[in-house]
Structure 1
Amino acid sequence: MVDMLDRGIGQLSRIPPLPPFTTPEEVVADALPLLDAPSRITVTDAAERALRVPVAGKWSAYDRSVTPYTIEPQDISQSRRFKGVVFVGPSQSGKSQMLLSVSAHAITCAPGPVQLIHMTKTDADAWVEEKLDPAISNSPLLQERLGKAREDSTFSRKRFKGMRLGIGYPVANQLSSRSQRMVLLTDYDHMPQRLGPKDAPEASPWGMALQRIRTFLSRGCVFAESTPAFPVDEDKARDANPLEPHLMPATTGGIVNLYNEGTRARWFWECLDCAEYFEPTYERLSYNRDLDPGEAGDQAHMVCPHCGSVIHHRQKAEMNRRAGQRHGGWLHESREVDEATGKRRLVRIDDPAIRNTPFASYALNGAAATFASWSALVERYETARRKMEEDGDDLDFAGVHYTEIGVPYRRGGDEDDDALTLEDLRRNPLRISKGLAPAWARFVTVMVDVQGNRFEVMVMAWGAEGERVAIDRFAIHQPPDDAPRAKGDDGKYRAVDPGRYAEDAAVIAELADRVYPVEGAEWGLKPLAVVIDFNGPAGWSDNAEKFWRKQARAGRGGRFYLSIGRGGFNQRDRVWHEAPERASGGGKGRGIKLLNMAVDRLKDSVTAALGRTDTPINAQHVPAWMETEHLAEHLAEKRGAKGWELKKGLIRNEGLDHSVQALALAEHLGLNRVNWEVPPEWCVAGLHNPNAVQLARPNQAEGASEPLEQARPRQINFLRRR
């Protein structure tokens, strides 16, 4: 009994001390500020009074002169006239800082529930930890108002005196059944554009956010900011009204369409020489496009469209500050039409003639963004443009438009004036016999497209710098002699059935051993590798795996690849070789590696290569022997906003698929990494190439089956490219 009492006394001695006594007067004094009427100051004034921001490694008071173009949009969030504010702009331009400024105003001046919606839960948590929490702890006025209880400061909620700041992510339950005075949407274009069940989506994040502020009447506001991330919708863009000077091309979704519904403001500078207004855009940067990207960027400068006056990058900060003082600034579209220009007149936000809409919308061009230098902007633009012109892949070029310039990207479509036609492809054919590789050939690849009753095969010869041409095209209809017979038939004339009979794939194995003579040489080339479509009729995937494993056991696994297409322009890479994580039925993934192809991006490159006539680099020549029906297969698809798709009424596209397989295989094997001054053995010209075979009858396709076994010469004889 004594032991129990002693143990209890010891435990009591470890109880932490009670908090100091608080008098009723102190409680009332702490709560009295909550009874104050909202402070009638702007968001920018409140930010300068209460907010600290990181500058050059230290925390300093918010300075409106750093990003003057954010003053009006963040201040207008408190307007009783507009229900929403939309801001479109490039990355690193101060867009997200506006949301902190609006939040600081709500905390210190106009208490009320505010909700911030980030792209995902992970991004929301990271934003709280890396941006919000440090800003609060380094801003004394914000820290003073933060609740002291443990649950007052979490990743999903911050409770301040008189207000609650919620942090969420775009799912339906985060934007349902709650009343908010302010809803802040950050990186809007990277959110799901439809929330709710897939079979019955409720609305967009913007639409659901507008419902949350209804109970606050004119005091409620939704603020959305983002870089654009959706391409131009060509069908809707054609209907744009040319009389509306600030209308952006309609996109397939996202914030640009919200901007078009608003007042459509653009940021203007006043020329220091002629005092005329103009919008500083990337198109008005002047530089020599023939220079290297870095050198072109160093000489970039802005030119006034009215008088031709030159504005250097060092003057950009001054031009922005002057615009913030109404020597330029934000100009919105009005309802009135200027008789002189035939376009809508441009007015300021307080003009009664401003466009009649409940949303104030703003679009900032990357050329005016504070934290973007013109030299870096031009360098990235030119690098991406030249890469697109070289290989036809415009993913990086589109990214520069979205994140660096802050405008939607308009991709070339099949209906463009410069779209390829059969006449274009036939105009400059490469005159070479079928089955014969050109003199500049360095290696050969074989591509197999699997159909229900045949194997469609194309052979491609490759030269230096990605130059290539098809040298053979045929279909395999007959199964091997030892394949199983069909029921009720002697099997002699049974067609290939890849999905049903695994044995039929044996006819593909011999493709790796064929030899293709090189024009003007006494040697030919065996294929470097064979790539086979992993998709096909039902049952083929399993049979394809059996075929590859059989070749691997024979030591030929490195000569054969199984390819699978991945649609969409935003794949992680153009080509990657790895085993699938999951099987098609959701079970354990296959134990073989597949050559994954970003087919839509690769089709861009193939189309560009077919149309390249001014240089052999990355050009895909059209052979004179190719039949029209096979040539037309390269033009069977059209490019849409989400990817390439068959044109109406067409079903044969094997030629395009073959070309995509060929490019994917060549890139995987290292085509883009080759130093053509000192190439590896597999792409040299001559018998030193491990795939080269000396022939009995050179320059004759039928002589390819009669190689002569001779010693290879010691010297590597490089063939001069055409």
Structure 2
Amino acid sequence: MPTFELPTRPHGWRPPAYASAAGCLEDALPILAPVQRRSVSSWAGADRRLRDNGAIIAWDNKVTPYMVEPMDMSASRRFRGVVFAGPARTGKTDALILNRIGHAICCEPCDMRVIHMDRNAAREFSLKKVGALINYTPALKRRLGRGRFDNNILDKRFQGGMTLDIGWPVVSKVSASDLPLMLLTDYDRAPEDIEGEGNLYDLALKRTETFGSRGMAIAESSPGRLIEDDDFLPPEGAPHMAPPATGILALYNRGTRGRYYWTCPDCSEVFEPDYELLHFQDEGSPKERGLAAVMGCPHCGAILEPRHKMELNRAGRWLHESKTGDLVSVHDDALRETEFVSYWLKGAAAAFQSWASLVSRYETAWQEFQQTGDETSLKTTVNVDQGKPYSSRMVEDEDDLSVKQLKDKAEQYLLKVAPPETRFLTIAVDVQKGRFVVQVDAWGPGLERWLIDRFDVHAPPAGAPSADSRAIDPAKYKEDWDALLPLLEKYYPVAGIGYQIKPAALIVDSGGADGVTKNAYAFFRKSRKLGLRRRVFLAKGLDRWDRDRAKEVTPEKEEGKRVKKRSDLRIVRVGTWRLKSEITASLAREDPGADAYHLTRNLPSEVFEEFCAERRTPKGWVLRKGRKRNEALDLGVYGLALVLVLKGEKINWKRPPIWARRMETNSFAAPRPKQETDPETGARDLAEESVCEREPVPAQTEAPETEAEEEKQAVQTTVKPKRAPTRKVRRKPRRRGNSLVAGLRG
């Protein structure tokens, strides 16, 4: 039989060093070790090491004392989540993410996952932050696994089998796994919706649910989302509620709503340090202003200098909302009942950011915004330096108003009653699904304006198909547009005198859902046949600043087809951006007079909100986030556009046309019936009537084409009716310089 010989062993060969039983037991023992009852801040102060200017130093809780309580609550079994909103340079990532990782590894081993805003950020965070945490902290480095794959870039394994995973916001990272600890950093820079599954925090919180009170989801970020309501005021009983915004502040509002307070060394009153409390000179460069910045106590006015900041921080404390809206500590029994403990720190308290840099950066960004209209730098410094959500400074235009300001300026006059100064009325109509929205304005000399009626038309007219069993539908039924015709014959009493007046003209939006434009054209043509020429107009709103304010034109296309011959349609093209600015300026006017726009306190609250639903930006007027209805503003624009095409701006108020004269000779006015009460006391019942029996009054339905016809119509409306002529006489019109036509010109 063949013989086999073992290979010759080289000189000096030794057998490999196999793992010993003692070594394997040493690696496995940490999983059996009892949990160490230490707070996160206590562990960080004893074991955490970090690199600072080339030296390895110990973590000092006194540097960022405001992070001690949030750190300790991150390991609490009382809450399911911790939320921290604050500016950059506060140490929030080191305290809430890195220290919590270190505490979990050393004191309470468990699997955990960090979610950063994207893949590149996750990789950089692992290399620079997590890598430094492990390398510079001996207590962590000796627990790092020694296996070949235990120290990868995006996942690390420690003694006892616990893992740390660094990921980014994708569904695969927040589903199909159970983890007791989920850590979300830079939350507001992550997508709001994770692949259609929901927001990141709720998805992460679901991963921890299996572990009961040991599960914890932590989110930290500086605010990065826009305020959705610029007129927000904290409701009663919720003094710490943040303005409505998505992201980290939405999570903050779910929790206990804690804020950091200082105690004034002079009056011993507590106050929240904020950028608004900083005082600095108005002259000089942004840097010079910043260097002079000091903080004033809002209670006694005591001046606090930058050198006091560290001392005030160390003596500061977090105050949270109680069940009754009082401010209490997090350990108080009256603390607001919620699953989350939440914190919001303002930039004035940030340990690594001086007041000088806060002021100089904001003032620099403000100057850039004023010079270029670009608010990018301004948003950055408000979010990152001050730790606040951003509200576009475009709304701080001198002519812009908030809902509160509009309500404060509102006057006490009756709806459905025209003021004594009235010369004519206009109706503006917006087309919405299931309704017409109607707004009636009274106009006086100088185009002073009063909103006197606002209502919706929901019911189809009696002659429309299935009128008794459905709501109005302007897109499907052209017959429904007949509901607008009675509005032109609706009389409004004039306060203080025995007259009433009906609208001179109506303008309706011709855009909207499929079918609206076609039906609007049919309504316009029908109104012409009914003798309402120059009393019914169609509007087409156009964006851009270079548009004409209001211009009446013949459409080039009709119902999607190019018009081959001159159309009988007339469309009022409205430069909405320019007119919205004018409307806002009119509403902001403090004194009555020409161009002032008056609102009454009797208007519904939503009308004031609709007037403020948009804001002006360099790119035009845009709907504010969180607002959906802007009908009042649009109707105000259409009403002004109607007056412009009627040449209302060119009226000589000493010799106005007959439709804009005083009530005694106005072509649309009539004496009030004797049985009707004075509008100052009983006009509300009168105004409810849609169409009443009126004394016959000559009404102008056709605009005069020449000045001779103007004189003819003026005589007909002021003198008793003329007998029918036996023959027609064509007269050559006389020219009277630059006098204006009396009627509604074509």
> If the TM-score is normalised by the length of the shorter chain, which range does it land in?
0.5 to 0.7
Match in the other structure for 2:168? 169
Equivalent position amino acid for 2:211 in 1 = F
Match in the other structure for 1:245? 239
Equivalent position amino acid for 1:133 in 2 = G
45, 48, 64: which one aligns with 1:51: 48
240, 247, 255: which one aligns with 1:262: 255
TM superposition shift of 1:44:
1.3
1:647 and 1:381 map into 2 onto residues whose CA distance is 36
TM superposition shift of 1:285:
1.0
The structure-2 alpha-carbon separation of the partners of 1:66 and 1:607, relative to structure 1 and needing over 3 Å to count, comes to farther
Greater Rg over alpha carbons, structure: 2
Equivalent position amino acid for 1:34 in 2 = I
Match in the other structure for 1:26? 23
Q: Is the 8 A contact 1:637 1:646 kept in 2?
A: no
| Secondary structure at the counterpart of residue 86 of structure 1 | strand
1:133 and 1:390 map into 2 onto residues whose CA distance is 44
TM superposition shift of 1:20:
2.7
Alignment of 1:296-695 (within 5 A): 296-321=289-314, 323=315, 328-336=316-324, 344-411=325-392, 412=395, 415=402, 637-641=621-625
TM superposition shift of 1:275:
2.5
Match in the other structure for 1:288? 281
Q: Is the 8 A contact 1:387 1:393 kept in 2?
A: yes
The structure-2 alpha-carbon separation of the partners of 1:494 and 1:153, relative to structure 1 and needing over 3 Å to count, comes to farther
Equivalent position amino acid for 1:375 in 2 = A
Match in the other structure for 1:143? 141
TM superposition shift of 1:348:
1.2
Equivalent position amino acid for 2:238 in 1 = E
| Secondary structure at the counterpart of residue 82 of structure 2 | strand
Match in the other structure for 1:440? none
Equivalent position amino acid for 1:140 in 2 = P
Q: Is the 8 A contact 2:170 2:194 kept in 1?
A: yes
TM superposition shift of 1:459:
13
Match in the other structure for 2:486? none
200, 205, 213: which one aligns with 2:200: 205
1:204 and 1:269 map into 2 onto residues whose CA distance is 34
Q: Is the 8 A contact 1:459 1:471 kept in 2?
A: no
| Secondary structure at the counterpart of residue 48 of structure 1 | helix
2:403 and 2:374 map into 1 onto residues whose CA distance is 17
The structure-2 alpha-carbon separation of the partners of 1:345 and 1:19, relative to structure 1 and needing over 3 Å to count, comes to farther
Match in the other structure for 1:279? 272
| Secondary structure at the counterpart of residue 62 of structure 2 | coil
Alignment of 1:691-702 (within 5 A): none
TM superposition shift of 1:477:
9.0
Q: Is the 8 A contact 1:44 1:74 kept in 2?
A: yes
TM superposition shift of 1:645:
11
Match in the other structure for 1:128? 126
Equivalent position amino acid for 1:31 in 2 = A
Equivalent position amino acid for 2:280 in 1 = Y
Q: Is the 8 A contact 1:414 1:638 kept in 2?
A: no
Match in the other structure for 1:668? none
> TM-score scaled by structure 1?
0.56
TM superposition shift of 1:475:
11
1:82 and 1:289 map into 2 onto residues whose CA distance is 46
TM superposition shift of 1:227:
0.7
Equivalent position amino acid for 2:193 in 1 = R
1:299 and 1:372 map into 2 onto residues whose CA distance is 15
Match in the other structure for 1:96? 93
Match in the other structure for 1:618? none
TM superposition shift of 1:17:
8.4
The structure-2 alpha-carbon separation of the partners of 1:652 and 1:272, relative to structure 1 and needing over 3 Å to count, comes to closer
Equivalent position amino acid for 2:142 in 1 = E
Segments of 5+ residues of structure 1 without an aligned counterpart are 337-343, 428-455, 461-468, 480-485, 496-602, 613-621, 623-632, 655-722
The structure-2 alpha-carbon separation of the partners of 1:416 and 1:39, relative to structure 1 and needing over 3 Å to count, comes to same
Equivalent position amino acid for 2:182 in 1 = V
TM superposition shift of 1:263:
0.8
1:73 aligns with 2:70: yes
| Secondary structure at the counterpart of residue 116 of structure 1 | strand
Q: Is the 8 A contact 1:281 1:368 kept in 2?
A: yes
TM superposition shift of 1:115:
0.9
| Secondary structure at the counterpart of residue 38 of structure 2 | coil
Match in the other structure for 2:529? none
Q: Is the 8 A contact 2:150 2:156 kept in 1?
A: yes
Q: Is the 8 A contact 1:638 1:646 kept in 2?
A: no
2:250 and 2:52 map into 1 onto residues whose CA distance is 34
Q: Is the 8 A contact 2:113 2:179 kept in 1?
A: yes
1:188 aligns with 2:187: yes
Match in the other structure for 1:84? 81
Equivalent position amino acid for 2:68 in 1 = I
Equivalent position amino acid for 2:201 in 1 = W
TM superposition shift of 1:247:
1.3
Q: Is the 8 A contact 1:392 1:607 kept in 2?
A: no
* Count of residue pairs the alignment pairs up: 466
Q: Is the 8 A contact 1:287 1:297 kept in 2?
A: yes
Q: Is the 8 A contact 1:459 1:472 kept in 2?
A: no
Q: Is the 8 A contact 2:230 2:391 kept in 1?
A: no
1:284 and 1:23 map into 2 onto residues whose CA distance is 66
Equivalent position amino acid for 1:640 in 2 = R
1:96 and 1:64 map into 2 onto residues whose CA distance is 14
1:50 and 1:114 map into 2 onto residues whose CA distance is 20
Q: Is the 8 A contact 2:81 2:340 kept in 1?
A: yes
Equivalent position amino acid for 1:284 in 2 = L
The structure-2 alpha-carbon separation of the partners of 1:358 and 1:493, relative to structure 1 and needing over 3 Å to count, comes to closer
1:223 aligns with 2:204: no
Alpha-carbon displacement from aligned partner over 1:661-714 (angstroms, at most 9, x marks no partner): xxxxxxxxxxxxxxxxxxxxxxxxxxxxxxxxxxxxxxxxxxxxxxxxxxxxxx
Q: Is the 8 A contact 1:458 1:473 kept in 2?
A: no
1:458 and 1:283 map into 2 onto residues whose CA distance is 37
| Secondary structure at the counterpart of residue 290 of structure 2 | helix
1:347 and 1:634 map into 2 onto residues whose CA distance is 38
| Secondary structure at the counterpart of residue 234 of structure 1 | coil
Share of identical aligned residues, percent? Answer: 35
Q: Is the 8 A contact 1:266 1:279 kept in 2?
A: yes
The structure-2 alpha-carbon separation of the partners of 1:477 and 1:59, relative to structure 1 and needing over 3 Å to count, comes to farther
TM superposition shift of 1:113:
0.9
2:615 and 2:99 map into 1 onto residues whose CA distance is 54
TM superposition shift of 1:84:
0.5
TM superposition shift of 1:63:
1.3
1:383 and 1:265 map into 2 onto residues whose CA distance is 31
> TM-score scaled by structure 2?
0.54
Q: Is the 8 A contact 2:50 2:132 kept in 1?
A: no
1:261 and 1:634 map into 2 onto residues whose CA distance is 28
Equivalent position amino acid for 2:349 in 1 = A
Q: Is the 8 A contact 1:459 1:473 kept in 2?
A: no
TM superposition shift of 1:125:
0.5
Q: Is the 8 A contact 1:236 1:250 kept in 2?
A: no
Q: Is the 8 A contact 1:233 1:250 kept in 2?
A: yes
Q: Is the 8 A contact 1:121 1:169 kept in 2?
A: yes
The structure-2 alpha-carbon separation of the partners of 1:222 and 1:281, relative to structure 1 and needing over 3 Å to count, comes to same
| Secondary structure at the counterpart of residue 178 of structure 1 | coil
1:647 and 1:397 map into 2 onto residues whose CA distance is 31
